[in-house]
Structure 1
Amino acid sequence: MEPRKPSESFVVMTELVLPNDTNVFGNLMGGRLMYWMDIAAALAAGKHCNAPVVTASVDNISFEAPIKLGNVVNIQAKVTRAFSTSMEVHLSVYGEDLTHQYKYKSNEAYYTFVALDPNRKPRPVPPLVPETDTEKLLFEGALRRRQLRLILGGKMKPNDATELKALFQP
């Protein structure tokens, strides 16, 4: 399988926050944003592997700033690492107040997707070759994040998480 670059999976999704997307405070509902993020992440993962994908996990979505009614949401998604059949996707979300011409970071998260074959079974994905310094940092950290996800999901014993253990051992 030919290795792919993170830039080849890059997706930008734009949405306008309408009244039906907001809570009683006029802020974009977190669940609606997570829905949009899932779509953007799936598009990025699908671009990387050129196959159907399903969401396997969502890591710690941190909300830094609310996005208000009438603002624009820009979601940027890019594959940060490919494993055998899964891919980690990093998402950055920005709000944009068009009236005041102001852009701000709203949140970020990591999603994990699994590629499927025609029988809906996991299939191998192309390796990822990071190019920029930022892509290399995200790529290196992906193994630790993956081990943490596997431990929390009960699929790995903490003692087997060598990358995580290396952070805490002299």
Structure 2
Amino acid sequence: MPSKMKGFTLVEMLVVVLIIGILLGITLLSPITGSIHKTVQDQSARLEVLFSQVRDKALLENVEYGFSVQADGSYQWWLMPLESREWVMLNESPLQSYKLPSSLSLWLEVAEEVTDPGDDEEFEGPVVVFYSDRQATPFKLHIEPIDDPKQSVVLVTDGLSDVEVTR
């Protein structure tokens, strides 16, 4: 009568090592591939909240706020006080100038035109205006990863409704 062997065969051990390797590969690579998606989502969520706050502030303070995009991937917030009627760039948190990470590009569509931040214009002020009656200039703001345009996000409003994030 043959004696019963104890332990695992080489094939069984290799299968276990293969399964562990696959699981480690999946868990280690998922944060790398998801990081650009997370960055885009974080930036779009940040802007969505700021747009909502600015609409509310414009209504409560009875002033107009503005938003513009620059060629270097940054954006600025503007204020038009009632007494001066000239745009003033804001530097207070959270409405100070902000530059997106270099892995993202930012461009703005307003009133059927694409506003390229690289255009040399003499006008210094906002392209999008948030009025004191909660209306705004209709726009589409595109946040796009430079390496993967399929991951892009668009913040859009018709001027009357709140800004929404779409893909």
Q: TM-score, normalised by structure 1?
A: 0.24
Larger-gyration structure (1/2): 2
Q: Which one has more relative contact order, counting CA pairs under 8 Å at least 6 apart?
A: 1
Larger strand fraction of residues: 1
Q: TM-score, normalised by structure 2?
A: 0.24
